[in-house]
A and B are shown apart, each in its own frame.
Chain A
Amino acid sequence: MRAIVLVGALASAVFLFASASPAGAQAGDAQAGRAVYERKCALCHGEKGDGKGPGADLLDPRPRDFTTGIYKIRTTVNKTPTDRDLFDVITRGMPGTFMPAWDVLPEKDRWNLVAYLKAFAADKFKEAPKKQELPKEVASSPESIRRGKEMYEAIECNKCHGAEGRADGPSRPELKDEWGHPIRPANLTKRWTFRGGGGRAEIAMRLTTGVLGTPMPSFIDSVEKPDDIWHLANYLASLGPESPHYATLLTAEAVNGDIPADPVAEFWTRMAPQNIPLVGQVTIDPRNFNPSIDMVALRAAWNDKEVAFHVTWDDPTQSGADAAKKASPDVVSLQFPQKVAEGADRPYFLMGGDADAVYLLRWENGKGATEASANGPTRIVPLAGGEVTGQAAYANGQYRLVLKRPLVSKGPDRPTFQPAVFLPIAFQAWDGGAGETGAKMSLTSWYYLRLEEPQSSRRFVVPPVVAILTFAAMLLVVRVANRRA
């Protein structure tokens, strides 16, 4: 009995020790790390660690060149990252880039990788990392957020990140990393794309240390008081959610009365956005490996006559077609099947195929709303005589658009919108300012849209009536029973 207790205590001690160890860095074995590296990392980062793997040219941002010893994400005063910094990047990946999270690898493999990465720039790691301490944490509060906004304006974060944080600052087109490659500022309203994480402490650390190799400078000596780092972090965290909470099924709300055509009308802000991720089109040439538009937010409504789609998306440059400058316009399009088929058959997601055309509701900056039918990205035919109307607004790196169409179609090229049906829908977007045009776009696969049926007021009447009737029946039963007794 005693022995069992002893063994149990020992086992739990070992367990405690083992589970405590992830907090501390482990010494990795570079040779063992090499084996993992060659299987998992070399394709992009190159066998020599120079960031020139066979896949590198397709990637933007480019994979890290480990021989420079320069790492974006660190928690140190000097350039040398800690082992834990490297381990965390391997584990979590670099959100918003092609670097995935490698938490699928055993922890030991990841520590071994850390040791191997350091060996690529052994001379750079001779200098020991000096831990960066953060100023004492300031909890988020309306006052702190207000102070953060004040600081944001005083230190001119807007120069790169834009007045409302959507990466549309005037210095944006000039930004380059230390190797001369163009680089984009972070969209501060999308914390889930922050390379080093979107938590408040992580944001405070990035503000403090800067992001090595990029234009993002260190701000610890450049705020009025050290506390301001936290006020700024609290303000940035208030600009958007930590996760986009992507929608899976899209719905259009039934409304009585008119639907406003104005995209900035209050009507639309009362409705919750349905966020949909967009990815670069990489199926056919020209492929788009670093798409500008990575998300659209949909709000939709319908009444007895028409259906309206309110689309919000971030685009750092408002651009229209300009033949002289070879500039392309900003475009967004909503895609539907021409006919809503019974069953699960849908046209090819990439703007239809030879035999199965799709119907597009398009809006183009400078041209407005149009309808088209398409049999692929290069075979788009405008539809004449439509009734689609569109109205857009652009401000601080963001478009808001309302597209409206009658529910009932005027011919075989257009679908009719019916309530309570799962209607396939897909999205495409082009940022003309980023040179996106034609097949170079960002898009989604098929989603389903459902026009919710009007919620009749019966639901407020029927259940109470049933409850009252039941209660009355019970009383009756009790009374009858009592009388008999």
Chain B
Amino acid sequence: MRRALGVVLAAALVAGVALFVQRPDPVDAQGGGTVEVTVTYNGAPVVEKLKVNKDTEKCGTEAVIEKIVVGGNKGLANAVVSVPTAKGAPKMAKATVDQHGCKFVPHVTAMTPGDLELKNSDDILHNIHTYSTANPSINKAQPKFKKVMMEKFEKPEIIKLTCDVHSWMLGWVAVLPTPFFAVSDASGAAKIENVPAGKQTVEVWHETLGKQTKEVDVKAGQVVKVGFEMKK
């Protein structure tokens, strides 16, 4: 009896250690490197404007569709930067997209497979209409009293978000196979920390300008800089 208990305890201990070891911690003691990416675009911004005929108290009188947003030093905003070769546990914090001012905020959301929280802070009807192939596409109404909806996206792919009530609303959700990602800011900069050391591939995706990849050598505790110039 005692022996059996001992065996069970030992097995539990081993299993626990195994689980602990197996789970790669991004803030590993061995340390990862930081990848600093600058995305640029040597062209004019593409911004479409549309006169709004309804819900103007929430949406404003002019809708702006930002297809290509270029900031200072030709920095390209809204580009998804990721290291698909670096594996790690999915991010625990859930991703959130808000429908605010008849826009998807943020315009581009990156996440690991799991739940996406969809908020409606506009107090008017929106409908979440997604275009996807790997995940089931959805078209669900989100009336003003439905402040939050949860949707599951379990497979990596890039999903387009639209709203048929407000045809100009456009958003993107990048479901990525890796927790090492960032979305470029207004200056085109994106920083990914704790990337496992070694040879890695950095990938950039932009809704209008497509995809590019580069190989980098990540060293523990160091910063590796890589630049992408996106082209039409």
Contacts and interface: CB of A to CB of B under 8 A. Distances in A.
Contacts of A217: 127-129, 139-141, 164
Interface in A203-240: 210, 212, 215-219, 221-224
A247 interface: no
Contacts of A223: 143
A170 B53 contact: yes
Interface stretch (B2-10, B144-152, B191-199): B144-152
B136 interface: yes
Nearest to A207: B141
B209 interface: no
A364 B164 CA distance: 33
A62 interface: no
Nearest to B124: A156
A78 interface: yes
B124 A154 contact: no
A159 B54 CA distance: 9
Contact of B143 (A154, A175, A215): A154
A79 B130 CA distance: 13
B30 interface: no
Nearest to A210: B139
B165 interface: yes
B40 interface: no
B131 interface: yes
B144 A154 contact: yes
A467 to B, nearest CB: 65
A176 interface: yes
A137 interface: no
A93 B27 CA distance: 61
A155 B125 contact: yes
Contact of A215 (B124, B127, B146): B127
Contacts of B53: 170
A155 B165 CA distance: 12
- Of the candidates B127, B166, B167, the one having the most CB atoms from chain A within 10 angstroms of its own CB is B127
13 contacts: A154-B143, A154-B144, A155-B125, A156-B124, A160-B165, A171-B164, A171-B165, A174-B166, A178-B131, A216-B139, A217-B128, A217-B140, A219-B141
Given A215-B127, A217-B140, 5 more contacts: A79-B136, A170-B53, A175-B167, A218-B141, A222-B142
Interface of A: 78-79, 154-156, 159-160, 170-171, 174-176, 178, 210, 212, 215-219, 221-224
